[in-house]
Structure 1
Amino acid sequence: MSAAEPPGDGDHQLLVLIDPLARRYDGESVRIAKDVLSAGAHAKICFADGPDEFARALSRRGSRRPVVVGDDHALLRAVSQLHRERELADSVLSLVPVGAAHTLELSYALGVPRGAVAAARTALDGARRRLDLLVDDSDGVVLGELRIPAAASSPGPSHTVWETCRTLVASLVRPAPPSSAGPSGSQRLRVEADGVLLNDLDQPVEGLSVAAQGDGGLADVVVRTASGETHTAEAKAVTVSGPDFRYRADIQVAGPVRTRTWTVHADAWGLVLPTADE
């Protein structure tokens, strides 16, 4: 994480994007956040009815700084869109977390305050921080951590309908072949960190994690093998290959794929967080 940036001229021209699931989950917190933000800035409020309207509003934000009211899915949706539009480097986001606890783990890990009032005040007066980002070779982004195997999890009350359906359909249409698994559910994977081989296909992998360090433009790579060995490295790029495998990037499960490379983009995106004295 880089040092705080000074506030810009457009900091008090806000676009408040309210995710529809946040309204259904906790309408009172949404109302409080809206009132605090409107009292402290010139805020345009958008009650998005779905992902398409959310995307349109974000694309048409002009000079207004986006404030997302929602959970980890909403934050990831905003970062992914700005990355695809190649506008992430010039943007800074705020988040007011509203949702079930398990849908906010990423946001809290990034340092977003808990509670609508504290988060809304941080959106108004906090410090803009530049954070590293993992980007894969299909243009997908990872804000927090990548994990293999992708542990199955049941969707919670704030999990979107389209995300649930997409995951279900993917698992039915393209199931991972049984031959990809090693003993005790491990997987046979080749793992390279900046071209250096950490693990080959002859050694089944029990677990792999990759996470950007936050500053310095490097990722921490940890490979745990089925034989009990642990291999660690710091790298700019990590390539995983082998029989079809799925991976969990933040809160989303993707794949199956046979090879994927993740590269750290230093200081790639901005998030407003509490100042050092808060």
Structure 2
Amino acid sequence: MSDHDQLLVIVDPVARRSDGESVRIAKDVLSAGAEAKICLPDSPEEFSRALSRRGSRRPVVLGDDRALLRAVALLHRDRAPLALVPIGPPDALEVAYGLGVPRSAVAAARTVLDGAVRSLDLLVDDSGGVVLGDLRLPALPAPAAGSAPSVWGTCRSLVRTLVRPAVPPVPSVPVHRLRVEADGVLLADVDAPVAAVTARPVDGGGGTAEVTVHPAGPAGAPRRAVAGTLTVSGPDFRYRADGRVTGPVRRRTWTVRAAGWGLTLPRDADPPA
């Protein structure tokens, strides 16, 4: 039996709790088509140890985007290929689906057995974090805990409405003072507020990312650049990478790694958008 037919199947604990039936089906399909060693880690530490001891076996993760990102963060230094069987609600698998992973557990498990590894670029930051898809900064702040209107607050609002005509609120666009450099070229500085900065690896771009700076206010067109590194600094800011919010930080640099990791996808799959 070849190394390709020897699998290390790591079942994320969240997947076991959220959809045990899909986990069982995926394990059955994989075990029927290959020699599969099943690993059931109970913590991130056990997850990491299982991957580090994979030997020549191909790692297959059963889980959601968080499990995928955790595995890529551990494997990309070796450029080791990876396969994913998506287990979880759709909003926890947006990154995986965007990369072309089949949506059903059965189809994804069959892709593990019959698919092909596609080399993909990724962003690696100076703290060891990885970005597979979209990067946006600053991240929009989440509503504060307890910010939902209370019954008393609703009553007061009703009274104010009856006393005087309601005035439509004026929408406010948050602005941020950030210094943005792409391959050392200055795209924005703290004296010119921006609304947002976005970046995404360019498919087939030879290790580059498309960076867009969105200026604050109606004036001014977005500034775009294609670069291998992106550095952002300024007052404490948070950023959203692949749906996860990180920070606050004052400075962060992202570097594109060309063909930095490999994902098993259907042989006829289109390149990720």
Could you tell me the TM-score, scaled by structure 2's length?
0.84
The structure-2 alpha-carbon separation of the partners of 1:78 and 1:241, relative to structure 1 and needing over 3 Å to count, comes to same
Residue of structure 2 in register with 1:220 after alignment: 210
1:231 alignment partner, one of 216, 220, 223:
223
Matches within 5 A, 1:124-273: 124-152=113-141, 184-215=173-204, 216-228=206-218, 229=220, 230-273=222-265
Q: After superposition, what is the alpha-carbon deviation per residue over 1:163-219, rounded to whole angstroms, capped at 9, x for unaligned? A: xxxxxxxxxxxxxxxxxxxx7322101111111111111111111111001222110
Residue of structure 2 in register with 1:55 after alignment: 48
Deviation at 1:133, TM superposition (A): 1.1
Give the 4+ runs in structure 1 shifted more than 6 A.
Answer: none
Question: Is 2:91 the partner of 1:102?
Answer: yes
Does 100-109 or 132-141 show the bigger shift? 132-141
The RMSD of aligned alpha carbons is 1.7
Deviation at 1:152, TM superposition (A): 4.3
Letter of the aligned partner of 2:131 in structure 1?
V
1:23 alignment partner, one of 16, 25, 43:
16
1:79 alignment partner, one of 41, 62, 72:
72
Residue of structure 2 in register with 1:45 after alignment: 38
1:11 alignment partner, one of 4, 23, 27:
4
Structure 2 CA distance, aligned partners of 1:9 and 1:263? 35
Q: After superposition, what is the alpha-carbon deviation per residue over 1:30-51, rounded to whole angstroms, capped at 9, x for unaligned? A: 0110000000000001111121
Q: Percent identity over the alignment?
A: 63
Letter of the aligned partner of 2:254 in structure 1?
W
Q: Secondary structure of 1:11's match?
A: helix
Segments of 5+ residues of structure 1 without an aligned counterpart are: 1-7, 155-182
Q: Secondary structure of 1:184's match?
A: coil
Letter of the aligned partner of 1:218 in structure 2?
T
Q: Secondary structure of 2:173's match?
A: helix
Contact 1:73 1:251 in 2 (8 A): no
Q: Secondary structure of 2:42's match?
A: coil
Letter of the aligned partner of 2:31 in structure 1?
S
The structure-2 alpha-carbon separation of the partners of 1:100 and 1:153, relative to structure 1 and needing over 3 Å to count, comes to farther
Contact 2:100 2:269 in 1 (8 A): no
Segments of 5+ residues of structure 2 without an aligned counterpart are: 144-171
Number of aligned pairs?
A: 239
The structure-2 alpha-carbon separation of the partners of 1:277 and 1:220, relative to structure 1 and needing over 3 Å to count, comes to closer
Q: Secondary structure of 1:265's match?
A: strand
The structure having more radius of gyration, on CA atoms, is: 2
Structure 1 CA distance, aligned partners of 2:211 and 2:24? 41
